[in-house]
Structure 1
Amino acid sequence: MTRHAELDALRGLLLVLMTLTHLPTRYSAYSSQLFGFVSAAEGFVFLSGLVAGLVYWRIRQSQGEAALRQRLRRRAWQLYGVHLALLLFLFTVGAALGHFGERPMLRNLLSFYFEQPLVALWAGPLLLYQPPLLDILPTYIVLLLATGFWMRLAARRGWATALGLSLLLWAFAQLHGRAWLLALFNRATGDTVPNLPLPVLGYFDDFAWQLLWVSGLWVGHLLAEGRGQELRPRPALAWAAIGATAFALAWFHRWLPPSLGLPVVDAEFWLQWVDKVLLRPLRLSQFLLLAVSLACLSHWLRPVALAAPGRMLAGLGRASLPVFSVHLLLVLLSLGLIQQEEVPLSAPAELALVIGTLAAMAASAWRHGRRGTLSHPGALRAA
């Protein structure tokens, strides 16, 4: 299958930004706020859904439902295996560093594990306990397993029905549906299973974030059927989206004069309108504006993706699973470098950490690319 270099390069760029955000360095303050109210995670989930829609819709059309379910299960098991390996590393090496090495960041990361180790050991493999940083792959696994349902619904009832149901699930999340379901689970299990607090379920509310994935599936389906031109906005809408995106960025970074009377982005405003956990309305709206703006610039993205820096980013994007796994492993190890919570690393140490991590990710992508070229030349994978 033909690769889309610009999609690979965008995913690679988002992987780099997420890595800079997760590493305990001063650079995280810049990478996490680059897009204003929106982070790199939203773009990565959407693009992953897009690539999944592009690949798996073709598989469904050419090989049928049974082949689609088999491919989805195989990919989900692969992701689950990676997640279990990372959990094992965190519960052993990470816990030892945090406890015996007295590393506060690792201890905070594993606070529930240290408080209730037996519960963590069974809830972790069941994807109920998701420590910070290790909550992204479980979300991806759930979204991937649901892909067959969304495609079947879209094929039978149309994408309007699928997107409408997805929007209802997002609204359920805004009403704190996940907390309500957890309360039901805790009441139903009673004394037989220790109660699970809401934070252990992971940072991302799957009921909210599935909207990005399903939207990506829809766009991928259009690309798979050669209908990508339907995504191009009209010039008036394009300029409106670009202008609104610039306005939101200026508002976020406080470049606009106070005389405009815009709401102050304080903690209360953030939780109500921009909260990342629930993918609140303002965050979702700005992501939509950014997506439309990028769609307007799509004819410029491919030449950039084919240039040398773009090819390096595209290599990371093509090998997103091994690269993401290496990034998580190195981020967890880097947290063990922080001896006191308020004392950061020195500037040279931070720079060496960033360069070393990115180099390891690039080496992983290069190895994956060589192996993929030898075994499946020209293949496009929904990683």
Structure 2
Amino acid sequence: MTSISDRVAGPSHVGAADEMVHALPAPILLSLPASGVRELRLDLFRGLALWLIFIDHVSPDVLTWFTIRSYGFSDAAEIFIFISGYTAAFVYGRAMFESGFEIATARVLRRVWQIYAAHVLLFAILVAEVSYVAIGLEKPFYAKEMEILNFLDQPGSAMVQALLLRYRPLNMDVLPLYIVLMLFLPLILKLIKWRADLTLAASVALYAAAWRYDLHLTAYPNGFWSFNPFAWQLLFVFGAWCALGGARRMSRFLSSPVTLWISFAYLLAAFCVTLTWYFPQLGYLMPHWLEQWMYPIDKTDLDVLRFAHFLALAVVALRFVPAGWPGLESRWLWPMILCGQRSLEIFCLGVALAFAGYFVLTEASAGLGLHFLVGICGILIMSAAAWLLSWYKHYVDKAGPRTKRAGGHAQMAGGGP
């Protein structure tokens, strides 16, 4: 007799998972790998997003010239949220097909708890970092810069609000968004299973309503969430829709040369627009009517221009990094892939390292060389941590009682969501 705990933990053999590979729709956007084989492209692009997020945080004035946000409308956040929706649907969608809605929901809530615990721990670490610098080293500028003055003034109220996800220091906005989106994942999967295209249409409608009626979540002590869940859910749901068959239905469109050239044209146009941000003397090239129409390109509410820019990047990336791309076996890309496989831990580490690096660069009035050194050191530390976590999971966890759980769904999807 199978207990509830056994069912929540997942199947003890690979056979059921193998059968589900053939039962589920076959995505084209990021093709399902053969049974027991990781989809390394998911790991690669998620690892890239983590590196870019770290670089944007540690050196926002210098190293961002080497990240995508300086050359278009979107940045690494879109990559991270889309892949999160894709992998979440891949992993827990299978659980729903295999074990039913209740068991899949239980697994999702367990993952939500893990993300929430990681968020609280990161909050404690980051507040400790900033407090030590601001109070211990008598540099109060950093408390204001990292938005923890309210915690220092009213730690009790601020901590309660932090536990409610309404208060967080600078650079800690992604995980609360991720937690909220994951909470609604069982409903999203249920709706996709019922009517996939209708579910995506409902997500688009909610996105439009968020813009039309200014739907948002408030933050403490004032203001709103930096990532509006009512808007960013579109990217998450789109990722889930692609994973569960939507990409297969778009295969002809995605493989069309016309789509590729339109994507290139849009990326070039976005690049030309961003040039006017950094070189104001080029501003005369932008028609006034176009500026009025497109500005502001809002990140909080996921401006449609940002969403379109991400789609264009995805089309180009898929064309040049197809399934089975030999570069995925390169030793030079393996650190990035490892980071993508341990995304939650590496994201938290990257945020903590980013403040430490930012403090060093600010106090040293650093030039380009030190900015590069700090950025590279941070990426090396993140990569080393990912390798250590992977080694621990491979050699230590497998020696314990969980050895039976070989071939889990998260391994095939490219790591847990």
Give the alignment's TM-score, normalised by structure 2: 0.78
Which of 319, 325, 337 does residue 296 from structure 1 map onto?
A: 319
One-letter identity of the residue aligned with 1:357: G
* Matching residue's letter, 1:244: Y
* Structure 1 unaligned blocks of 5 or more: 184-194
Would the aligned equivalents of 2:93 and 2:189 in 1 still touch at CA under 8 Å?
Answer: yes
Q: Kindly provide the amino acid, as one letter, of the partner of residue 283 in structure 1.
A: R
SS where residue 299 of structure 1 aligns? Answer: coil
Deviations 1:126-156 (A, max 9, x none): 1111322111111111111111110011112
Output the CA distance in 2 between the equivalents of 1:301 and 1:242.
Answer: 23
Given candidates 130, 134, 139, the residue that maps to 2:177 is: 139
For the structure 1 residues 35 and 58, does the alpha-carbon distance in structure 2 shift closer, same or farther, using more than 3 Å as the test? farther
Question: For 1:3-61, what per-residue CA distance to the aligned partner results, in whole angstroms no more than 9, with x for missing partners?
Answer: 11122111111111111111036213432534411111111111111111222212211
Aligned equivalent of 1:315, options 328, 335, 338: 338
Aligned to 2:200: 163
Specify whether residues 175 and 271 from structure 1 end up closer, same or farther in structure 2 by C-alpha distance, changes over 3 A only. farther
Residues 247 and 326 (structure 1), Cα distance of their counterparts in 2 relative to 1, 3 Å cut: same
Change (3 A) 1:182 1:320: closer
Q: Distance in 1 between matches of 2:208 and 2:120?
A: 31
Aligned pairs (5 A) from 1:132-211:
132-156=170-194, 158-175=195-212, 177-179=214-216, 182=218, 196-199=221-224, 201=225, 203-211=226-234
**Partner of 1:170: helix, strand, or coil?**
helix
Q: 1:365 aligns with which of 355, 364, 386?
A: 386
Which is further off, 289-298 or 3-12?
Answer: 289-298
Aligned length: 363
Change (3 A) 1:300 1:328: same
Going from structure 1 to structure 2, the CA distance change for 1:346 and 1:235 (only over 3 Å counts) comes to: closer
- Find the residue that maps to 2:180 and give its secondary structure: helix
Unaligned runs of 5+ in 2: 1-35, 399-404
Q: Does 1:221 align with 2:244?
A: yes
Q: Which residue does the alignment assign to 1:70?
A: 106
Rounded Cα–Cα distance in structure 2 between residues aligned with 1:34 and 1:90: 27
- Counterparts of 1:313-352 in structure 2, within 5 Å, are 313-337=336-360, 344-352=365-373
Deviations 1:324-351 (A, max 9, x none): 11111111333443666xx733444433
Show the counterpart of 1:382.
416
Q: Distance in 2 between matches of 1:15 and 1:244?
A: 25
Distance 1:373 1:176 in 2: 49
- 1:113 maps to 2:151: yes
Structure 2 Cα separation of the partners of residues 265 and 359 of structure 1: 42
Structure 1 equivalent of residue 72 of structure 2:
36
CA contact (8 A) 2:133 2:142 kept: no
Q: Secondary structure at the match of 1:277?
A: coil
Which SS does the other structure have where 2:171 is aligned?
A: coil
- The 3 A distance-change label for structure 1 pair 264 and 118 is farther
- Number of the residue aligned with 1:237: 259
Question: Which residue number corresponds to residue 98 of structure 1?
Answer: 134
**2:328 maps to which residue?**
305
Distance (whole Å) between structure 2 residues aligned to residue 227 and residue 261 of structure 1: 37
- Distance in 2, Cα, partners of 1:377 & 1:72: 20
Cα drift, residue 72 of structure 1: 0.7
Q: CA RMSD in A?
A: 3.0
Q: Scaled by the length of structure 1, what TM-score is found?
A: 0.84
